[in-house]
Structure formats: C-alpha cells, structure tokens
Amino acid sequence: AASRIARKVVLITGASSGIGKATAYELAEAAGGNIKLLLTARREEKLIEIKHDLEKLYKNSGIEVLPVKLDVSKTSEITKFYNDLPEVWKKVDILVNNAGMVHGIEQVGDIEQSDIDIMFQTNVIGLIAITQAFLGQMKSQNCGDIVMLGSIAGRNPYPGGGIYCATKAAVRSFTDTLRKETINKQIRVIEIDPGAVETEFSTVRFRGDTEKAKSVYRGGEPLNAKDIAELITFAVTRRQNTVVAETLVFPANQG
C-alpha cells in the first residue's frame, strides 16, 4: 500500500502543528521518505523546522519539502500562492485540507463578528478556495485525493460552539457535493471527523490561555494528532477504487 503514495505531491494546509504536522510525518514514513510535501501555514518558521527535520530523517530517500507561508483565510493569498508555485508542485496528487480553528466559546448572542468572520473564512471559504485552485488539474489528470478535516462538531452541535459547528457542517455538506461531482473522475474525496484531539486547537479556542486549554482534557483521554494522521494515511493508501468517504473517530470516553 505504501508504494501507492511514493513520489506523490502532497499539499497540507495548517502543517505547522497538530494534525497537519503529524500527517506530514506519517505520510513521509509510509512512503519511505520518497514523497514531495508542500507544507503551508501562517507560521513559516515552524514549517522550515519541519522541513529540516524531515530531510534529516529521510536523507537520500528522495524526499522534497517545500514550506510556503499561506493564510487560507485570505482568498487573494491563495490565488497568488497557486500562481507562484513551480509547475511540478502545482500537480498535487493528495490535498489535505486541514487548516482550521475555533475562536471563543461564547453563545450565539455574544459572539463577536470578528470571530464569526475568521472561523468561516478559515474553515469554509479558505478550504473551498484551496480545493478550487487544485481541482482543475486533478480533473484533467483523472486522479487525486482530497482529504477534508471535518469534526464531530459538524454532526453534533453543542452550546457555545454555534459558529465552529456551523463551519464544520458546511465542510461536510460541501465535501458530499464534491464527492458526488468527482466520483467518475477518479478523484477520491475523503472526510475525517475527529472528536477531541489534543493539539494547539484548544489553546486557540481559549485565545491563548493554555491552562484553560488543558482543563478541557482533564479526566479524559483525548486522541493525539498521530491517531488522525494514521487514518488519513490509511485512506490515501487504499486501492484506487476504494473511497474511505467518511470516518467519525473519537476517544472512547467521548462516545
């Protein structure tokens, strides 16, 4: 199965931490280091660290890592990002639409407009724009995998999650449509919907308050980023006619 991703070009958004970063390492391992990773996020310095580390780990294996600073909440940046890419990197075989965030825990009447905007711009508008940027070439080549990070929140909304849950429900609906539109094009559209995963996600949710972020996981055992990266790797290493369409995965105590 690993040979199915050897030499592929993989684009991961939000690759500077958490699930995105773990996915870069997991795919590199699965391909025996013979892979091209296009890693994007806003924190370019983190991407550069990951590039150096991966190149050290998989020396002489054919690994290529291209770190590019990209804020997916700005659609004009996405257009420029695509246009500026060298041709070989435009031919993305596996797109992992992972960049996403939650800001705040307020109930609907109290949510700031700026939080609504940033969550929809990042989780929905950005994800759609990135998908559109690479879909044309995938269609013309009749192949490609598009992985979406949805969430259990998109299926089971909770008080205080009004906007975040709505963004992930939008991702799910968009993903379903895309899958139906591309199924005959040999493009596999894969959605992974995690429950609680311990990453920087909660710190962002509590606006940088790491103590509050940690308290979310107290008394439970969250999943870790590698658990999700393994699922993504599993999905993209199946036989071409196998579409792992939707996977809901959560810690046992969250069920």
Q: Could you list the active site residues? A: 164, 168
CA neighbor of 191 nearest in space, from 202, 176, 206, 203: 176
User: CA–CA separation, 54 vs 61, rounded Å?
Assistant: 11
User: CA–CA separation, 14 vs 50, rounded Å?
Assistant: 12
Label the pairing between strands 94-97 and 9-13.
parallel
User: CA–CA separation, 78 vs 99, rounded Å?
Assistant: 13
Cβ-contact 6, 32 below 8 angstroms: yes
Q: Is 199 a binder of ligand NDP (CB under 6 A)?
A: yes
Q: Is 99 a binder of ligand NDP (CB under 6 A)?
A: yes
Q: Is 204 a binder of ligand NDP (CB under 6 A)?
A: yes
Q: In whole angstroms, how close is the CB of 88 to ligand NDP at the nearest point?
A: 23
User: CA–CA separation, 163 vs 117, rounded Å?
Assistant: 9
Lookup: tokens for 223: 């999943």
Q: Is 91 a binder of ligand NDP (CB under 6 A)?
A: no
- State the binding string over 129-158 for ligand NDP (x if CB under 6 A, else -): --------------------x-x-------
- State the binding string over 32-51 for ligand NDP (x if CB under 6 A, else -): ---------xxx--------
Q: Is 20 a binder of ligand NDP (CB under 6 A)?
A: yes
Question: Which lies closer to ligand NDP via its Cβ, residue 34 or residue 123?
Answer: 123
Q: Which of 8, 9, 16, 65 forms a contact with ligand NDP (CB under 6 A)?
A: 16
Q: Is 71 a binder of ligand NDP (CB under 6 A)?
A: yes
Please list every residue from 168 through 187 that binds ligand NDP, using CB under 6 A: none
- Cα–Cα distances (Å) from 222 to 143, 217, 219, in that order, read 35, 6, 10
- Which residues sit at the interface with ligand NDP, rule CB under 6 A? 13-20, 41-43, 70-73, 98-101, 122, 149, 151, 194, 196-197, 199-201, 204, 225
